[in-house]
Chain A
Amino acid sequence: MILSGHDLTIGYSDRTVGRNLDVALTTGEVLALLGPNGGGKTTLLKTLLGLLAPKAGEVRLGDRPLASYASRERARLIAYVPQTHVATFAFTVEAVVLMGRTAHGNLFSRPTAADRAIAARTLERFGIAHLSERSYTMISGGERQLVLLARALAQEPQFIVLDEPTASLDFGNQGKVMREIRALAAAGHGVLFTTHDPNHAMRAADRAYLLREGVRIAEGAIGAVLNRAQLEELYGALVETITDTAGRIAFLPG
């Protein structure tokens, strides 16, 4: 299945954030969206999620326009992992993950035993089953990110879209989330994530999409797109590269 945007103009009622954007995500691959703050990453993300209508152009999911999907139908195909936030009410971790099952029930239904089994399995899958009875407001930021990942997986979607999944995480948890993103793609999901760290894109993504001031700078396989010259153009700043004996590259802000 393919989630794609065609000649998109994105933005809000009072301003346009980006123009002439084409993007495509296929199941089984990871696409990283990179770019400076205010460059339109989150806006593009929300447009592809169907949360924000494009000002022009079209988002397609499979063989239909995304706009033609009912919200419930859409949520069975695309899941959203927002940046972690402090919740208002102290739902248990299990309840938060069960919310991922909402699109699989009808208007009046409660989660069923089958839904609970799926929630338990996804919690197990991310190694956080022991948190299931804990309050979502009382766990760490890294744990919260994993809970939101578990909720997305409980939706049983084809595509998972993550907004800066590593932004509020410590070093160890950043690595863990990157590994999980790889594993999701290996399991057949199409994954799109935004990040500020090109090294995370190197680590987890197959392709990268470089977006600056609403304009696509480059798009392509990680090896072809992520290099010093491209990143210096993208961020308008100096970038240093470090290469190890195996030929692997890491970037440092210059």
Chain B
Amino acid sequence: MPRSAAPGLLIAFAVLVAGLLLAFTVGRYPVGLGDLLNVVAAKLTGQAAEAPAAVENVIWQVRGPRVLAATLVGAALAVAGTAFQGLFRNPLVSPDLLGASSGAALGAVLGIYFSLGVFAIQAFAFAGGLVAVAAVYLIGSAVRARDPILVLVLTGVVIGSLLGAGVGLVKYLADPYNQLPAMTFWLLGSLAATSVADLVPLFGPVALGTLVLVALRWRMNVMSLPDEEARALGLPTGPLRIVIVAAATLVTSASVATAGIIGWVGLVVPHIARTLVGPDFARLIPAAALLGGGFLLVIDTLARTMAPIEIPLGILTALVGTPFFIWLLASVSKTWS
């Protein structure tokens, strides 16, 4: 871990800027870099832009909300993954594996099924995510085993599949013409329908959860030690763990409620961030947020430009994440004890 994290943070920041430029310029209606800078500069200085009105419209109305949402969702998933990996002392856990995503998905699908508003869907997603993570955690710690982390991950898989069955049931019961296509598309992950109105219920919880995690950044370092050591160093680990899990779950479920299930971001990005800036959460959280935002911007740009129809985000991230996970499993399994 380098003493100065500046180079690593700079790289992470550059990734986000590159992602932003890519997302704004590439698409069915290409926007030149010059036009983009002109329009942004005009907006900042309050003057009229020289670029055509259509370009302005594409930047602010069409791509703007989607770009913001991709940045927030990517950052949120990466930050949540960072927190979960530290808390469970395992580089293989992620919001997906601990059931937070599938719990939030079941909550949100129920919200859609009952034709609720966007805030109610958010609340359902959060409750679902929290209940799922709590269940995984309680069952995982009730089973006394030699390898508690493995038990935890396996419990997550089992609870995840149970919740998956729940999602399946809701889909089965849903109106096949109005609700089902929305659910299916949403469950695979998409930002296609993002509007300005979606940004508020996304930004609030993500900002709140991230703030809590940032405030606890030093305590989170200590929480990544074995429980007895952290307690001997003076931490009330029980209450702290609940606060951290709740914050990470809040962040996860807000992004699931907005963009559906986008797997792997919370697993892959924290690793890359850790190799850039080391394990200290004070640097890791901002680095993961920047990288996660940039990563999802690239993925989302690919999703809307690669094929004549939109490709669901979850499919693209799975293509990246699966080989990454296998590589990771091969490289860290040696240190499991």
Contacts and interface: CB of A to CB of B under 8 A. Distances in A.
Nearest to B243: A107
A188 B206 CA distance: 49
Interface string A65-81: 00000111111101110
Contacts of B224: 88-89
A99 interface: yes
Given A80-B229, A86-B337, A99-B225, A133 B234 contact: no
A100 interface: yes
A95 interface: yes
Contacts of A87: 225
Contacts of A90: 1, 278-279
A92 B233 contact: no
Contact of B234 (A72, A82, A91): A72
B216 A108 contact: yes
A103 B89 contact: no
B233 to A, nearest CB: 5
A140 interface: no
Contacts of A73: 234
A46 B231 CA distance: 11
Interface string B265-298: 0000000001000111010000000000000000
Contacts of B217: 110
Interface in B182-238: 215-219, 221-222, 224-226, 228-229, 231-236
Nearest to B279: A89
Given A49-B232, A103-B233, A105-B218, A85 B86 contact: no
B219 A102 contact: yes
A245 interface: no
B274 A89 contact: yes
B90 interface: yes
Interface of A: 46, 49, 51, 70-76, 78-80, 82, 85-92, 95, 99-100, 102-103, 105, 107-111, 133, 135, 155
25 contacts: A46-B228, A49-B232, A71-B231, A71-B234, A73-B234, A74-B234, A75-B233, A76-B234, A82-B226, A82-B229, A82-B232, A87-B225, A88-B91, A91-B221, A92-B3, A95-B221, A102-B235, A103-B233, A105-B218, A108-B218, A108-B219, A109-B218, A110-B218, A110-B282, A155-B234
Given A103-B234, A135-B1, 19 more contacts: A51-B232, A71-B231, A78-B232, A79-B232, A85-B337, A86-B335, A88-B90, A88-B91, A88-B335, A89-B86, A90-B279, A91-B1, A92-B1, A99-B221, A102-B234, A103-B233, A108-B216, A110-B282, A155-B233
